[in-house]
Amino acid sequence: MRRAFIEELVALAAENERIALMVGDLGYSVIEPFADRFPDRFVNAGVAEQNMMGVAAGMASEGYQVFVYSIANFPTFRCAEQIRNDVAYHQLPVTVVAVGAGLAYGNLGYSHHAVQDYGLMRLMPDLLLAAPGDPWQVRACMRYLVAHPQPAYLRIGKAGEPCVHRELPQVAPGRWLQVVARGGKRALLTTGATLALGQQWLAEPAFADYDLYSLPLWGMAHKACQAEQVAAFAQVITVEDHLADGGFASWMREALAEQPELLLRHRGRSLHGRVCGVVGSQSRLNEYGGLQADGREGIGE
Amino acid sequence: MKSRLLANTMRVLALQMVTRAKASHIGSALSIMDMVAVLYAEILSVDPGNPHWSDRDRFILSKGHACVAVYAALAAQGFFPLPELEYYGQDFSDLMNHISHKVPGVEFSTGSLGHGLPFAVGKALAAKRQGKRWRVCVVLSDGEMDEGSNWEALLFAAHHRLDNLLVLIDYNKLQSLTTVAQTLALEPLADKLRAFGGAVVEVDGHDHAALRAQCKTLPWQTGKPSVLLAHTVKGKGVSFMENQVIWHYRNPSEEQLTQALAELAAERESWGAACGALS
């Protein structure tokens, strides 16, 4: 996903001179293609995330569309108030980009585990969450954001994620993207990099009659259209590599709160809090946190 | 005299606003009145009839709690009608009790300290990279210098040689609960600011001639952000408010307002100036 991000950013910046990239002294072997080609639109803010986000907001207020790139919690929790007050409140076109979504940096420790970021970022009323499921969705989300400049959070994995799509999908906020159609009775709805996990689960007997959907663009402003999409299925299971509290499943429940019959059709697969403070590979920690097809050690069953 | 008349007007308007709204922070606002008046009367290139004029100088108030100083300056300069100041602090008003970008002429909302300078730095960097000639002025409080984000921003501004940036620090030596020295000592502040790469000048923040002289010779050093360390008095201009931490919080009674306005009227009379419309 990192490669798709930088390739797409370079391509978009070649067509749009407003696009700038700011990094928090991170991105070695990722960001160089942009920095080399567009030095006047590249800034390494150093290890100072509060200032970085404020500077990005200031630049955005003067015509730039700024992508602010860093790892996991550094561009979110470390500068949460700058995102809230400077970027989101002023409705400035800054995209906060966090690489290492979920437990992608599983062995690096709790500091690098982005498992509470949805909960934080979806608190901003007019901030769009972009959680692409594969490299193609990364490109689609970025094109959407450049075509619709606004405060946004782009949550990407790291490297090596498989391509689930074969071409650029059409994405729209709040709209589920059909990935696999198998009857239209039940749906597995993923967000972020759990798309690949969902694809694996389809091979399990328990999911034999499930369709696979992905929701890459969502947020507080896009709840209203969830009920109609849930209503088309007898059951919808959401999947996220994020803690249950404040995450994607919680967002969906909030969206369905006024329609109890739809609420009953929804189940959530999220990470159990036990993953906090534990290290391991991404796949092992996802299993440990309950993200496996049979739901063992999981929650929300 | 132009800026002194404006400062006097702003003090009157601000006192009326906070009394009417039963609002706090009048001491903090009185502290910066002279700086803000000099900037708006004689330094900033702005157009009250066109607040979004692209080549304007950008002014940012980082100590957003002192907003009545800027609201008063903007209204007095014609950015919006003076009577609109009556909505300050009222339900659903754009004239919020911390400075709001919804008010014509206000670039940026603040209220949480440590946000204005990084934002101003971003604007200054944008101007440099786009070859623009306008400048960015940002007013900070002294207590606000406790915030790490400001020191991050100073490092950044010096590194990027942002000499189109003027940072004014309102050094009144009082913060929320007690003195700066007893809260988190800042001294030697000027040396620290120089060490962080600023071109630093210390002035009496109520001396209009000195403020004007310094602000007309920007930048003070090519390639360095200019940092004006303005020694000020919290509550300046109203005798019973000066250097009293309580006026960070207390709103004036009608009697206190009357007394304060009388002192300001006496100041105007002492100049022999005709300012009948002010109060």
The predicted pLDDT at position A300 comes to 38
Chosen from A51, A53, A86 to mutate, greatest number of chain B CBs within 10 A:
A51
Place of tokens 């400075």: B99
Domain co-membership, A97 together with A187 = no
Domain co-membership, A93 together with A41 = yes
The predicted pLDDT at position B112 comes to 97
Residue A166 forms part of a structural domain: no
pLDDT (tens digit, 9 = 90+) per residue, A47-62? 999 999 999 999 999 9
Token pair recorded at residue A105: 């940096």
Distance CA A253, CA A131 (A): 18
State how far the alpha carbon of A100 is from the alpha carbons of A154, A276, B48, B111, B146, in Å.
11, 15, 47, 32, 32
The predicted pLDDT at position B273 comes to 52
Closest residue to A58, CB basis, from B101, B118, B130: B118
Domain co-membership, A12 together with A148 = yes
Proportion of chain A above pLDDT 90, given as a percent: 92
Domain assignment of residue A46, given as a range: 2-156
Name the interface residues of A facing B (CB cutoff 8 Å): 40-41, 43, 45-46, 48, 50-64, 81-82, 85-86, 89-90
pLDDT (tens digit, 9 = 90+) per residue, A59-113? 999 999 999 999 999 999 999 999 999 999 999 999 999 999 999 999 999 999 9
Measured in angstroms, the CA of B159 and the nearest CA of chain A are apart by 10
The predicted pLDDT at position A296 comes to 66
The predicted pLDDT at position A158 comes to 86
Residues 6+ apart with CB under 8 A from A25: A44, A45, A46, A47
Residue of A nearest to B136 (CA): A58
**What are the extents of the domains in chain B?**
2-271
Residue A206 forms part of a structural domain: yes
Distance CA A22, CA A52 (A): 8
Residue of A nearest to B116 (CA): A54
pLDDT (tens digit, 9 = 90+) per residue, A149-186? 999 999 999 888 889 999 999 999 999 999 999 988 99
A237: pLDDT strictly greater than 90: yes
The predicted pLDDT at position A160 comes to 84
Distance CA B212, CA B115 (A): 26
- DSSP state letter for B244: -
The residues facing A271 across adjacent strands are A243
Measured in angstroms, the CA of A55 and the nearest CA of chain B are apart by 4
CB contact under 8 A, B156 and A50: no
Residue A233 forms part of a structural domain: yes
SS3 B84: helix
Domain co-membership, A19 together with A152 = yes
For chain B, which ranges sit under pLDDT 70? 273-279
Distance CA B59, CA B82 (A): 20
Taking residues A231-254, report their average pLDDT.
Answer: 98
Angle (CA) B67-B154-B175 rounded to 5° is 45
The CATH code of the domain that includes A209 is 3.40.50.920
B165-171 β-sheet, strand order: B58-61, B136-141, B165-171, B226-231, B199-204
Closest CA to B189 of B136, B143, B122, B138: B143
Query: Could you tell me the pLDDT band of residue A297, with boundaries at 50, 70 and 90?
Result: low
Residue A111 forms part of a structural domain: yes
The predicted pLDDT at position B278 comes to 42
The CATH code of the domain that includes A94 is 3.40.50.970
Number of domains into which chain A is organized? 2
- B-chain CB neighbours of A59 within 8 Å are 122-123, 125-126
Domain co-membership, A136 together with A183 = no
State how far the alpha carbon of A208 is from the alpha carbons of A31, A63, A182, A203, in Å.
41, 50, 8, 7
Query: What is the pLDDT of chain A when averaged over all its residues?
Result: 95
Residue of B nearest to A50 (CA): B149
CATH superfamily label, B2-271: Thiamin diphosphate (ThDP)-binding fold, Pyr/PP domains (3.40.50.970)
Give, for A66, the enclosing helix (H) or strand (E).
Answer: strand A65-71
Q: Which residue, of A122, A156, A190, is where some domain finishes?
A: A156
Strand A65-71 versus strand A19-23 pairing type: parallel
pLDDT (tens digit, 9 = 90+) per residue, A251-274? 999 999 999 999 999 999 999 999
Query: Residue B231, class by beta-carbon neighbours within 10 Å (0-12 exposed, 13-18 middle, 19+ buried)?
Result: middle
DSSP strands (E only) in chain B:
58-61, 136-141, 165-171, 199-204, 226-231
- B-chain CB neighbours of A53 within 8 Å are 118
Domain co-membership, A137 together with A214 = no
Residue A234 forms part of a structural domain: yes
CB contact under 8 A, B122 and A50: no
Residue A162 forms part of a structural domain: no
Strand A128-130 versus strand A217-218 pairing type: antiparallel
Tell me the torsion sign for CA atoms A183, A185, A186, A187: positive
Taking residues A135-142, report their average pLDDT.
Answer: 97
CB contact under 8 A, A58 and B117: no
Domain co-membership, A105 together with A30 = yes
Measured in angstroms, the CA of A64 and the nearest CA of chain B are apart by 8
Chosen from B140, B149, B160, B162 to mutate, greatest number of chain A CBs within 10 A:
B149
Measured in angstroms, the CA of B151 and the nearest CA of chain A are apart by 9
Strand A177-180 versus strand A210-214 pairing type: antiparallel
Residue A295 forms part of a structural domain: no
Residue A300 forms part of a structural domain: no
Query: Could you tell me the pLDDT band of residue A223, with boundaries at 50, 70 and 90?
Result: very high
